[in-house]
C-alpha cells in the first residue's frame, strides 16, 4: 500500500472552510483503497502572522519540502488591513512557496460543466487550460522605489523573463496541447512589451517546429479578454506569463460559472519538490464564516492533485462526482458543508 505525505495549509478566511470539504472528499475517494494520505497541517497565513509575526520560516519551508504534495486553501487578510501592511502574506508566503519549490507550471483548467449556469447567453463548449508561468514575469518584483512618499517618487517593478524559464513552460504547454485538441494560443502583449514579448514569441516558434500537429496562434492579452467572453470555445491551451495568466484565469473562472469552481495546480514537473494544489480564488474575507463559500474549487484541486500523483482513477471519480453534483444543482443555495457532503456522498455510492 502507498502512503502519500500531504502538507495541508488551510490558510485564512474561507481557506479552512473549503479545505475541510476538500479533505472530506479526499478521504471518501481513498476509503478502502490501497493508497492513504498522511496529512500534516501547517498553520500559515495572515492569522499566524498576527499571532507570531512569522510569515514562512526556514523551518516551515524545510518541513513542507519533506512532503509529496501540498494542499492549500487561501492566504491573505482583508485587502487594506493596516495590521498586515508590513507583512505581505501574498509575497512572503504564497509566492515564496511557488518560487522556492520552483512551481513553474501554474495549471488552471477552465471547463463549463453541463448544466452549469454562467453569465454568457451562448457560451458554447468551454474547455481550455491556461498554462500560466509561475516563477518569473512581473511577479519577481524587485524593481525598487526611490524618493518614496515624495512627489518625485519613482516606483519600478521588474519583469524577469529568462529563456530557460520561458522555454520550459512553453514545452509543457505544447506537450499538454498534444494530449488535448492540439491547439495552442500564446497570449502576451508583444506590441508593447517588446523584449519579453519577442522572447516568448521566438521560443513558441522554436518549440512549435517540434510539434507540427499543434496549431499555434497568438493574441494580445487585451484581445484575449474579448474572446474569453465572446468566443471562449476557440481556446484549448493558452500559454502566458505570470501576470497575464493571473488576470485571465479569474475571468475564465467567472465565464465558467464562478470563481468558486476554479481549481489549480502549481506544478514542478521534475518532481524535485512537492507540487501544490489550491483553488484559484482567495480568502474571500467578505463571505468568511457565512457558509457561503463554494468548496468545489478546492475539491477540483483534489482531482488535480490525484492526477498529478498518478492516481488517475481516483482523480476521475472526483471529477465525475463534481460533474454530477453540478448537473443536479438546483437553484436553492447550499452551504459549504452541504456541497462538500453531497460530493463526498457521490463517491461512496
Ligand atoms: P477573492 O478571490 O478572495 O474574492 C473575490 C470575490 O470572489 C469575493 O466577492 C469573494 O466572496 C468571491 N469568492 C471567492 N471565493 C469564493 C468561493 N469559493 N465561493 C464563493 N465566492 C467566492 O479575492 P480578493 O478579495 O481580491 O482577495 C482576498 C484576499 O485573498 C487577499 O488578501 C488576496 O491577496 C488573497 N488571495 C489569495 C489567493 C491564494 O491564496 N491563492 C488567491 C487570490 C487572492
Ligand atoms: C492567485 C492569487 C495570487 C497571484 C496572489 C494572492 C499572490 O491572485 O493565486 O491567483 O497573483 O498569483
Ligand atoms: Mn489571482
Q: What is the pLDDT along the chain (349 residues), one digit of tens a residue?
A: 899 999 999 999 999 999 999 999 999 999 989 999 999 999 999 999 999 999 999 999 999 999 999 999 999 988 888 888 777 899 999 999 999 999 999 999 999 999 999 999 999 999 999 999 999 999 998 888 999 999 999 999 999 999 999 999 999 999 999 999 999 999 999 999 999 999 999 999 999 999 999 999 999 999 999 999 999 999 999 999 999 999 999 999 999 999 999 999 999 999 999 999 999 999 999 999 999 999 999 999 999 999 999 999 999 999 999 999 999 888 889 999 999 999 999 997 5
Return the residue whose CA atom lies nearest to atom 4 of ligand 1. 284
The answer to whether the CB of 283 is under 6 A from ligand 1 is: yes
Whether 200 contacts 219, CB under 8 Å: no
The answer to whether the CB of 278 is under 6 A from ligand 1 is: yes
Q: CATH number of the domain at 305, please.
A: 3.40.718.10
Question: Would 278 be classed as within a structural domain?
Answer: yes
User: What does the alpha-carbon distance between residue 175 and residue 270 come to, in Å, rounded to a whole number?
Assistant: 14
Pocket of ligand 2 (CB under 6 A): 76, 90, 94-95, 246, 280, 282
Number of domains in the chain: 1
Separation of 282 CA from ligand 3 center, angstroms? 7
Return the residue whose CA atom lies nearest to atom 4 of ligand 2. 246
Residues annotated catalytic, as ranges: 139, 189, 222, 246, 250
The number of the ligand 2 atom at minimal distance from the alpha carbon of 278 is 9
Whether 176 contacts 194, CB under 8 Å: no
Binding-site positions read 98, 108, 132, 222, 246, 250, 282-294
CB atoms within 10 A of CB 97: 26
**Among candidate residues 277, 294, 299, 280, the one with its CA nearest the CA of residue 23:** 299
Separation of 272 CA from ligand 2 center, angstroms? 23
∠ CA 285-287-289, nearest 5°, is 90
Using DSSP, state whether 66 is helix, strand or coil.
coil
Separation of 78 CA from ligand 1 center, angstroms? 9
Return the residue whose CA atom lies nearest to atom 22 of ligand 1. 260
User: What does the alpha-carbon distance between residue 50 and residue 44 come to, in Å, rounded to a whole number?
Assistant: 10
Ligand nearest to the CA of 106: 2
Residues with CB under 5 A from ligand 3 (ion): 246
The answer to whether the CB of 108 is under 6 A from ligand 1 is: no
The bridge status of strand 137-141 relative to strand 105-111 is unpaired
Question: Would 123 be classed as within a structural domain?
Answer: no
Q: What pLDDT shows up at residue 58?
A: 96
- Provide Rg for the chain, Cα atoms: 20
The answer to whether the CB of 134 is under 6 A from ligand 1 is: no
Separation of 99 CA from ligand 2 center, angstroms? 13
Question: Would 325 be classed as within a structural domain?
Answer: yes
The answer to whether the CB of 286 is under 6 A from ligand 1 is: yes
Q: CA-CA-CA-CA torsion for 118, 28, 276, 294, nearest 10 degrees?
A: 30
Domain containing 285 equals 1-104+262-349
The answer to whether the CB of 19 is under 6 A from ligand 1 is: no
Separation of 222 CA from ligand 3 center, angstroms? 17
Question: Would 272 be classed as within a structural domain?
Answer: yes
522555454: which residue's cell?
167
For the question of an ipTM over 0.95, the answer is yes
User: What does the alpha-carbon distance between residue 344 and residue 218 come to, in Å, rounded to a whole number?
Assistant: 41
Separation of 332 CA from ligand 2 center, angstroms? 30
Return the residue whose CA atom lies nearest to atom 42 of ligand 1. 282
pLDDT tens, position by position, 328-343: 888 889 999 999 999 9
Q: Say what the pTM is.
A: 0.97
Question: Would 8 be classed as within a structural domain?
Answer: yes
Whether 284 contacts 276, CB under 8 Å: no
Question: Would 29 be classed as within a structural domain?
Answer: yes
| Strand segments (E) across the chain | 2-11, 35-41, 69-74, 105-111, 127-133, 137-141, 145-146, 154-155, 158-160, 183-188, 215-220, 237-240, 263-267, 275-279
Question: Would 68 be classed as within a structural domain?
Answer: yes
| Contacting residues for 229 by C-beta, under 8 A, at least 6 apart | 120, 251, 255
CB atoms within 10 A of CB 91: 13
Pocket test for ligand 1, best of 80, 85, 282, 333 (most atoms within 8 A of CB): 282
C-alpha cell at 127: 474547455
Whether 180 contacts 129, CB under 8 Å: yes
Question: Would 183 be classed as within a structural domain?
Answer: no
Distance of CA 78 to the CA centre of its chain: 20
Q: What is the mean pLDDT of the chain?
A: 96
Using DSSP, state whether 241 is helix, strand or coil.
coil
Amino acid at each position: 500500500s502507498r502512503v502519500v505525505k500531504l502538507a495541508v495549509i488551510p490558510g485564512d478566511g474561507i481557506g479552512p472552510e473549503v479545505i475541510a470539504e476538500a479533505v472530506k472528499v479526499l478521504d471518501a475517494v481513498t476509503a478502502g483503497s490501497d493508497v492513504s494520505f498522511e496529512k500534516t497541517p501547517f498553520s500559515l497565513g495572515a492569522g499566524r502572522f498576527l499571532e507570531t509575526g512569522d510569515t514562512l520560516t526556514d523551518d516551515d519551508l524545510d518541513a513542507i519540502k519533506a512532503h509529496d504534495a501540498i494542499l492549500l486553501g487561501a492566504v491573505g487578510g482583508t485587502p487594506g488591513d493596516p495590521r498586515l501592511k508590513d507583512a505581505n502574506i501574498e509575497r512572503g508566503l504564497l509566492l515564496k512557496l511557488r518560487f522556492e519549490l520552483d512551481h513553474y507550471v501554474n495549471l488552471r483548467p477552465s471547463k463549463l460543466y453541463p448544466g452549469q449556469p454562467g453569465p454568457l447567453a451562448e457560451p458554447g463548449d468551454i474547455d481550455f487550460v491556461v498554462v500560466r508561468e509561475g516563477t518569473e514575469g512581473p511577479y519577481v518584483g524587485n524593481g525598487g522605489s526611490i524618493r518614496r512618499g515624495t512627489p518625485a517618487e519613482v516606483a519600478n517593478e521588474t519583469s524577469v523573463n529568462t529563456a530557460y524559464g520561458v522555454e520550459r513552460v512553453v514545452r509543457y504547454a505544447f506537450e499538454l496541447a498534444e494530449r488535448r485538441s492540439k491547439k495552442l494560443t500564446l497570449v502576451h502583449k508583444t506590441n508593447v512589451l517588446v523584449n519579453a514579448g519577442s522572447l516568448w514569441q521566438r521560443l513558441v516558434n522554436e518549440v512549435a517546429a517540434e510539434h507540427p500537429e499543434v496549431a499555434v496562434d497568438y493574441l494580445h492579452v487585451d484581445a484575449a479578454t474579448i474572446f474569453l467572453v465572446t468566443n471562449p470555445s476557440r481556446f484549448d491551451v493558452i500559454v502566458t506569463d505570470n501576470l497575464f495568466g493571473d488576470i485571465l484565469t479569474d475571468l475564465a473562472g467567472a465565464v465558467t460559472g464562478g470563481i468558486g469552481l476554479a481549481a489549480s495546480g502549481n506544478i514542478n514537473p521534475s518532481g524535485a519538490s512537492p507540487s501544490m494544489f489550491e483553488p484559484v480564488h482567495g480568502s474571500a474575507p467578505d463571505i468568511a464564516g457565512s457558509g457561503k463559500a463554494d468548496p468545489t474549487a478546492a475539491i477540483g484541486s483534489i482531482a488535480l492533485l490525484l492526477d498529478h500523483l498518478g492516481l488517475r482513477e481516483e482523480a476521475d471519480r472526483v471529477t465525475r462526482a463534481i460533474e454530477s453534483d453540478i448537473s443536479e444543482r438546483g437553484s436553492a443555495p447550499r452551504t459549504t458543508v452541504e456541497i462538500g457532503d453531497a460530493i463526498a456522498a457521490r463517491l461512496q455510492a
